[in-house]
């Protein structure tokens, strides 16, 4: 499954590392996805709400199914996030542009998750004209 198919198939996206800072891609990219009808669930260690949505400390704390786990954290953190994504039964793991991890790929794929790395969800959304509205 390619990146466009993975994003088109997702409705609920948990964003690990969603930033409070509107100037950062880790805030702007999820905001763009939300504006196009995706349900964004922020995962942040200290925030209680981001983009008008309740934030959770970890993927395991999210009380509903997640289609896609979108990662805005450094590459060394990706394997642990991949393990959590497998544990919660997510359908796909997506590492944002500049983030790569062979170990995260292995964990995700062995866990049955579709996998994308080093790509921006907002760019893929725009170029493939994907919207949930």
Tell whether 13 is covered by a domain. yes
Q: Residues of the chain with pLDDT > 90: what percent?
A: 98
pLDDT confidence of residue 115? 98
Q: Is residue 102 included in any domain, yes or no?
A: yes
pLDDT-derived band at 16 (thresholds 50, 70, 90) equals very high
- Kindly report, residue by residue over 40-92, the tens digit of the pLDDT: 999 999 999 999 999 999 999 999 999 999 999 999 999 999 999 999 999 99
Residue with tokens 């009808």: 37
User: Residue 133 domain-assigned?
Assistant: no
**25 inside domain:** yes
Domain count, the chain: 1
Angle CA 116–19–72, to nearest 5? 20
Task: Say if 7 falls within a structural domain.
Answer: yes
Please give the pLDDT value at position 59: 98
Q: Looking at the domain assignment, is residue 35 inside a domain?
A: yes
As a whole number, mean pLDDT of residues 25-50 equals: 97
Cα–Cα distance list, 52 to 12, 35, 44, 47, 68 (Å): 15, 12, 14, 11, 19
CATH code of the domain in which 87 resides: 3.40.50.720
Q: What is the pLDDT of residue 73?
A: 97
99-106 average pLDDT score: 98
Its domain, for residue 19, covers 3-128
pLDDT bucket at 1, cuts 50 / 70 / 90: confident
Q: Which of 21, 60, 68 is nearest to 40 (CA)?
A: 68
């Amino acid at each position: 499954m390619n990146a466009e198919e993975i994003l088109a198939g997702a409705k609920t996206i948990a964003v690990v590392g969603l930033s409070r800072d509107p100037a950062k891609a880790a805030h702007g990219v999820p905001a763009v996805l939300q504006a196009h009808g995706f349900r964004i669930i922020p995962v942040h260690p200290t925030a209680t709400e981001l983009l008008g949505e309740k934030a959770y400390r970890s993927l395991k704390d999210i009380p509903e199914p997640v289609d896609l786990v979108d990662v805005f954290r450094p590459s060394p953190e990706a394997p642990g996030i991949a393990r959590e994504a497998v544990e919660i039964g997510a359908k796909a793991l997506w590492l944002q542009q500049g983030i790569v991890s062979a170990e995260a790929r292995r964990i995700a794929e062995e866990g049955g998750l579709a996998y994308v790395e080093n790509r921006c969800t907002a760019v893929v959304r725009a170029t493939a004209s994907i919207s949930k509205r």
